Every structure is written in C-alpha cells, then in structure tokens.
C-alpha cells in the first residue's frame, strides 16, 4: 500500500512501531531493537556497514528458526529459492553479519545490503533497487514469536530477500520495481506497485511439482506461515485482483496468489511495471 513502509520495506497502511500479530513487543525486545537501531542511524551509502555484536540468546534464536526453515523449505519453497540458498548459503548456527552477506550477494548479482535504522518511505525503499541496493534491518524478531515476524527482522531480510536477490532473474525483477518507482509520480500508481510487490515478492506462490511453492520473502522467512499455506484461500495470479485485495502485514495472510510458473510471473510483472506512469 501507500508509504510509509516498515523497515526493510514491507508496505504498510500506517506506521506501527511495536505491534505484533500475537501481542505487543515486550520491554526487553523493544530496548534491544532501539539499541541496534541507534547503531545504524546516520549510516550513508558508502560508509562501512555497522557491526552488531549479537548475544548468545540471539544466536540461539537464529539457530532455532533456521532449523525450522531448513526443515520446511524443501517441501514449500520454489526451485529457484532452493538453488539460490545453495548459491548464497547462510550459517545455520549464528546470525551472520550484514557485511559478509552483502559481499557474497554483490558477487552474484551486484546487489548490496544497506542497514535500515527506521521506517523507510516506500518511494525511497523501492527506488534503491534500481541501483542494486536493498535496505535491511539488523534486529531479530522477539523470542515470543520465533516462527513469524510481522515486522521485517534481519532473519526475514537475509533468509527471504537476500537469498532471492542472489538469483539473477529475481534480482532483475527487483531492479524493475526500482526503475518503475523512480519514474512514476502518481501516489495511486505507487500504491498499486506497493500492493503488487506485497502479493508477489513478499507473499507470492508459484505452481511447481504439483503444489504451490513460495518465492515471496515474507513466506520464506516464516516457518509458521509456510506450514499454514494449505489452510488459506489460494487465488489465481491476477494483478488487478492484487490491487483490489486488502491486506494486513501483522497477521498471517488469509489470501495468497499463485502464479502458473516463474515465466508467467515474470511476463506479467514486466508488463504491469512498463504500464506505470
């Protein structure tokens, strides 16, 4: 939807700092998030990426979530994601630094990761794709909700977006979103682009191996939501329907759109983005 967006760019109809789908962020989690965010504030492209010394509990949380994701991905992730995860392997036992992942990613598709200190306006977030830049949060989800994070945490950014950005075709699609947003002036067009991004690059599914498989970053970073796909409304891929469909980023999505193939998805997105002004 329209800006502003959540950190790392999940579109949102309004700014929500502390709301979680299953409650509110506890005080300890809020303090840690603020501490990490403060380390990032003021960073400019070209500056060295900030280093976060993650705690033992945070590394343990990363291990727990990665264990669950590695268990469910073979049966729920699309083939391109599974190949990309081999191309850009993330450590299972610790939270990796943004520097190491960004360096590996740049070697594959030219994309780099930038730290996001706070909410990133939609136009700024998407437009950066045109230059091969993706804004990433550095804090982890709260331990109370390990298998789903409505706010885009570093696990979502790296497991979901960074891995998919190592795939040349998906990197090209992100760049197309970026160049399109730089071109458009209409708030309505920006809102339409944002909704299409949400229902594709965040929560998109594609038919593969006889079943819907995830390519969207929000799904790929949520073991809980991946395992709920069979219980939600699955609709045929339709950009006009996506633009009309309401959504709430702070809950599991009740409606998801399934493309017939990656090729069909790519064709539809290119045509839609070329028409935006």
Quickly tell me which residue has 């504030």 as its tokens. Answer: 41
Tell me the three state secondary structure of residue 111. coil
* Catalytic residue list contains 207: no
Cis peptide leading into 4, omega within 30 of 0?
yes
The candidate with the shortest Cα–Cα distance to 34, out of 135, 111, 138, 109, is 138
Q: How far is Cα 141 from Cα 112, in angstroms, rounded to an integer?
A: 22
- Cβ atoms of 232 and 256 closer than 8 Å: yes
Q: Which of 202, 208, 222, 225 is catalytic?
A: 202
Q: How far is Cα 214 from Cα 255, in angstroms, rounded to an integer?
A: 14
Q: How far is Cα 175 from Cα 84, in angstroms, rounded to an integer?
A: 17
- Cβ atoms of 155 and 62 closer than 8 Å: yes
Q: Which of 208, 221, 222, 225 is catalytic?
A: 221
Q: How far is Cα 25 from Cα 253, in angstroms, rounded to an integer?
A: 20
Q: Which of 73, 102, 149, 156 is catalytic?
A: 156
* Catalytic residue list contains 172: no
* Catalytic residue list contains 202: yes
* Catalytic residue list contains 221: yes
Q: Which of 161, 166, 222, 225 is catalytic?
A: 161
Catalytic residues: 156, 161, 202, 221
């Amino acid at each position: 939807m329209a800006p502003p967006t959540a950190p790392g760019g999940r579109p949102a109809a309004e700014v929500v700092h502390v709301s979680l789908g299953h409650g509110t962020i506890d005080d300890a989690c809020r303090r840690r998030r603020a501490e990490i965010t403060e380390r990032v504030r003021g960073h400019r492209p070209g500056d060295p990426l900030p280093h976060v010394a993650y705690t033992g509990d945070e590394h343990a949380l990363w291990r727990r979530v990665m264990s669950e994701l590695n268990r469910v991905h073979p049966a729920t992730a699309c083939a391109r994601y599974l190949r990309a995860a081999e191309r850009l392997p993330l450590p299972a036992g610790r939270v990796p630094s943004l520097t190491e992942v960004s360096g590996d990613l740049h070697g594959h598709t030219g994309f780099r990761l930038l730290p996001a200190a706070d909410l990133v306006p939609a136009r700024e977030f998407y437009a950066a794709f045109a230059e091969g830049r993706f804004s990433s949060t550095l804090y982890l989800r709260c331990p109370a909700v390990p298998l789903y994070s409505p706010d885009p945490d570093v696990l979502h950014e790296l497991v979901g977006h960074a891995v998919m950005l190592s795939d040349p075709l998906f990197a090209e699609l992100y760049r197309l979103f970026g160049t399109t947003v730089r071109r458009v002036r209409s708030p309505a067009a920006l809102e339409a682009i944002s909704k299409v991004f949400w229902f594709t690059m965040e929560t998109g599914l594609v038919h593969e191996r006889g079943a819907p498989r995830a390519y969207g970053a929000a799904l790929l970073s949520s073991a809980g939501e991946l395992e709920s796909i069979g219980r939600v409304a699955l609709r045929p891929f339709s950009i006009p329907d996506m633009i009309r469909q309401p959504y709430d980023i702070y809950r599991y999505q009740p409606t998801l759109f399934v493309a017939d193939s990656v090729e069909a998805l790519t064709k539809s997105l290119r045509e839609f983005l070329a028409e935006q002004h």
